[in-house]
């Protein structure tokens, strides 16, 4: 019987959140198992999940000897947890697989790359079918360890939230702004554009909350602008995003948190790929990506090209609205470059998305959640 499952999560916050569907399917398959999470601070996004027995933060990359530091961490895991029956390495690095090995995990699963196959008992190749979302690539790792019915079902990203929001609710609108992105400025909408739409929201008396990197957006005091940048724990960030009427964000970890919480969101894409890491919900999954059945070995190649399995091309849409999500991307010829900085120096992928477009999308979303008698105020 599987009693303890170790998950070595990716280091990036957004990627850890995108593992939530695979995590949930494992919980369904193994209802009596407890989970141990190892990874960066991003693991804390699952701290309140009752099935999580323990979380270990891997800071070995900062140590003088990474091997020694990781060995000590894994020794701590072995001492405190005991036998680990099954482990999945959702990170792609060598040291992620080494973590499973040093924890003496009985069955060790991870993608075959970065010279780490010898450390794993199951090392599948990364699926090359397209279009597959990153969420589905994480799910594929668990295919051989869950029933086909569970694997084939759609399980949304979800996070446990609580009551530690830093937002005090009132009768007005509460709008979150996330102007930064950890990977680099190429993913970020123009600072001046953010300032312009913030100014428009404030002029209507709405409350604006800024998360992440402010990029010096606040140049003057205003009672309707609240700077929460670097002032929230991960739990407070989750709870605050859940409280919002609207969240406007670059492609980032908080964007995926908002999707997992079903918070109305406008996601602005430029240098990154909507066909890989767009915010995820059932409407988007069913319309623009291959179904999970496409990854099952029993499916023939011909079935992948049947009408029921042929998704629409998400990269042909400049604006896409699906459920509570609106995605805006111009899909320029030079995009997605996936670079930290614009290699062509013009940053047109973001500059071509205007404040008017984003503001009009915001009004459309807010009208949906506003009683008809108040719509005229918008």
Tens-digit pLDDT string for the chain (378 aa): 899 999 999 999 999 999 999 999 999 999 999 999 999 999 999 999 999 999 999 999 999 999 999 999 999 999 999 999 999 999 999 999 999 999 999 999 999 999 999 999 999 999 989 999 999 999 999 999 999 999 999 999 999 999 999 998 889 999 999 998 877 788 999 999 999 999 999 999 999 999 986 666 766 678 999 999 989 999 999 999 999 999 999 999 999 999 999 999 999 999 999 999 999 999 999 999 999 888 885 444 445 545 556 899 999 999 999 999 999 999 999 999 989 999 999 999 999 999 999 999 999 999 987 655 455 556
Residue 11: predicted pLDDT? 96
Strand partners, 209: 176, 226
Residues 6+ apart with CB under 8 A from 168: none
Strand partners, 110: 89
* Beta carbons of 66 and 37 less than 8 angstroms apart: no
**Domains recognised in the chain with CATH numbers:** 4-152 (3.40.50.2000), 174-375 (3.40.50.2000)
H or E stretch covering 74: helix 66-81
Give the sign of the dihedral formed by CA 24, CA 25, CA 26, CA 28.
positive
* Beta carbons of 144 and 302 less than 8 angstroms apart: no
- Give residue 124's region: left, alpha or beta (phi > 0; psi -120 to 50): beta
H or E stretch covering 195: helix 191-203
Residues 6+ apart with CB under 8 A from 167: 174, 207, 209, 226, 240, 243, 244
The pTM score is 0.94
> How many CA atoms lie less than 13 Å away from 301 in the CB half-sphere?
2
77 alpha-carbon distance from chain centroid: 26
Q: How far apart are CA 185 and CA 304, in angstroms?
A: 37
Residue 215: predicted pLDDT? 60
């Amino acid at each position: 019987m599987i009693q303890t499952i170790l998950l070595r999560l990716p280091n990036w916050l957004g990627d850890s959140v995108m593992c939530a569907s695979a995590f949930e399917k494992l919980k369904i398959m193994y209802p009596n198992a407890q989970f141990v999470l190892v990874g960066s601070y991003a693991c804390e996004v699952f701290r309140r999940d009752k099935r999580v027995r323990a979380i270990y933060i891997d800071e070995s990359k900062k140590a003088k000897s990474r091997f020694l530091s990781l060995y000590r961490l894994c020794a701590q895991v072995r001492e405190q947890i005991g036998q680990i029956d099954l482990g999945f390495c959702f990170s792609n690095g060598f040291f992620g697989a080494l973590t499973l090995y040093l924890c003496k995990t009985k069955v060790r699963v991870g993608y075959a790359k970065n010279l780490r196959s010898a450390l794993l008992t199951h090392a599948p190749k990364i699926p090359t079918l397209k279009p597959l979302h990153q969420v589905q690539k994480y799910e594929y790792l668990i295919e051989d360890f869950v029933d086909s019915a569970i694997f084939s079902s759609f399980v949304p990203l979800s996070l446990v939230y609580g009551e530690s929001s830093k937002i005090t609710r009132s009768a007005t609108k509460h709008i979150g702004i996330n102007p930064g992105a950890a990977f680099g400025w190429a993913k970020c909408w123009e600072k001046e554009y953010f300032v312009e739409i913030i100014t428009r929201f404030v002029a209507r008396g709405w409350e604006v909350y800024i998360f992440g990197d402010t990029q010096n957006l606040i140049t003057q005091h205003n009672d309707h602008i609240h700077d929460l940048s670097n002032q929230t724990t991960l739990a407070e960030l989750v709870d605050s995003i859940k409280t919002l009427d609207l969240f406007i964000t670059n492609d980032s970890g908080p964007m995926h948190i908002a999707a997992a919480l079903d918070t109305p969101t406008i996601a602005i894409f430029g240098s990154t790929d909507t066909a890989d890491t767009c915010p995820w919900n059932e409407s988007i999954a069913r319309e623009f990506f291959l179904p999970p059945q496409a990854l099952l070995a029993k499916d023939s190649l011909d079935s992948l090209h049947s009408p029921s399995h042929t998704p629409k091309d998400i990269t042909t849409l400049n604006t896409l609205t699906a459920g509570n999500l609106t995605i805006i991307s111009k899909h320029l010829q030079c995009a997605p470059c996936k670079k930290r900085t614009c290699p062509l120096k013009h940053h047109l992928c973001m500059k071509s998305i205007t404040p008017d477009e984003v503001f009009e999308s915001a009004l459309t979303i807010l009208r949906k959640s506003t009683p008809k008698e108040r719509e005229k105020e918008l």
